[in-house]
């Protein structure tokens, strides 16, 4: 049985004890942009905030793409979140290749180069990646200036978060 088929069976049981009040309109308080890496999945544990408060946007890396910026605009203007947390991590799979390498590898292994060059948003340094994310988000005209935007790196060895100062912050220090 595939994992998806197993999940469908489990869902029948989940629905038996599901609390229908959870289906009401959500009111998240903070937008969290983080990597699709499963080690970042326990956000209520990592951040000590309830599931209901978190508006989670996940991409590989994470990459702050145009789509992610659109989601942050909706999150802060429509859903009502008032802070933005950019959550990177150590040991990310997206630091293990470059876009050019993966494009070449997949073109060769599949025999079809037509999707190349595909953007995978690979990167090398999580701190630099975080600083670029802060800049992208804070410079967007539709992200209100009074919404705090802070970036962190989750250490997968220790479980600790460390804050990354934005370039503007560093210059002021």
Which residue ranges make up the site for Zn ion (CB under 5 A)?
Answer: 35, 37, 92
CB of 12 to Zn ion, least distance (A): 33
User: Is 37 or 55 the residue whose CB approaches Zn ion more closely?
Assistant: 37
- Cβ 70 vs Cβ 46: under 8 Å: no
User: Is 31 or 35 the residue whose CB approaches Zn ion more closely?
Assistant: 35
CB of 46 to Zn ion, least distance (A): 14
CB of 105 to Zn ion, least distance (A): 19
Whole-angstrom CA distances from 64 to 86, 93, 123 are 9, 16, 12
CB of 135 to Zn ion, least distance (A): 20
User: Is 35 or 84 the residue whose CB approaches Zn ion more closely?
Assistant: 35
Question: Please, which residues have CB within 8 angstroms of residue 39's CB and are 6 or more apart in sequence?
Answer: 89, 154, 156
Q: Which of 146, 144, 121, 120 is nearest to 133 (CA)?
A: 121
CB of 60 to Zn ion, least distance (A): 6
User: Is 35 or 134 the residue whose CB approaches Zn ion more closely?
Assistant: 35
Q: Which of 88, 86, 52, 53 is nearest to 72 (CA)?
A: 86
User: Is 34 or 103 the residue whose CB approaches Zn ion more closely?
Assistant: 34
Question: Please, which residues have CB within 8 angstroms of residue 103's CB and are 6 or more apart in sequence?
Answer: 116, 117, 118
């Amino acid at each position: 049985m595939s994992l998806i088929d197993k999940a469908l069976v489990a869902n029948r049981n989940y629905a038996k004890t599901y609390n229908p009040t959870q289906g009401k309109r959500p009111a998240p308080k903070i937008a969290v942009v983080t990597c699709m890496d499963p080690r970042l999945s326990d956000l209520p544990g990592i951040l000590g905030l309830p599931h209901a408060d978190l508006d989670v946007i996940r991409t590989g890396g994470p990459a702050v793409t145009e789509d992610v910026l659109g989601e942050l605009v909706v999150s802060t203007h429509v859903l009502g979140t008032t802070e933005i947390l950019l959550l990177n991590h150590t040991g990310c799979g997206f630091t293990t290749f470059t876009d050019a390498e993966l494009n070449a590898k997949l073109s060769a292994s599949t025999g079809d180069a037509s999707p190349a060059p595909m953007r995978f948003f690979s990167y090398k340094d999580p701190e630099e990646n975080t600083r670029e994310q802060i800049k992208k988000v804070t410079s967007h005209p539709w992200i209100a200036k009074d919404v705090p935007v802070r970036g962190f790196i989750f250490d997968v060895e220790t479980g600790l978060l460390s804050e990354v100062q934005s370039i503007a912050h560093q210059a002021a220090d």
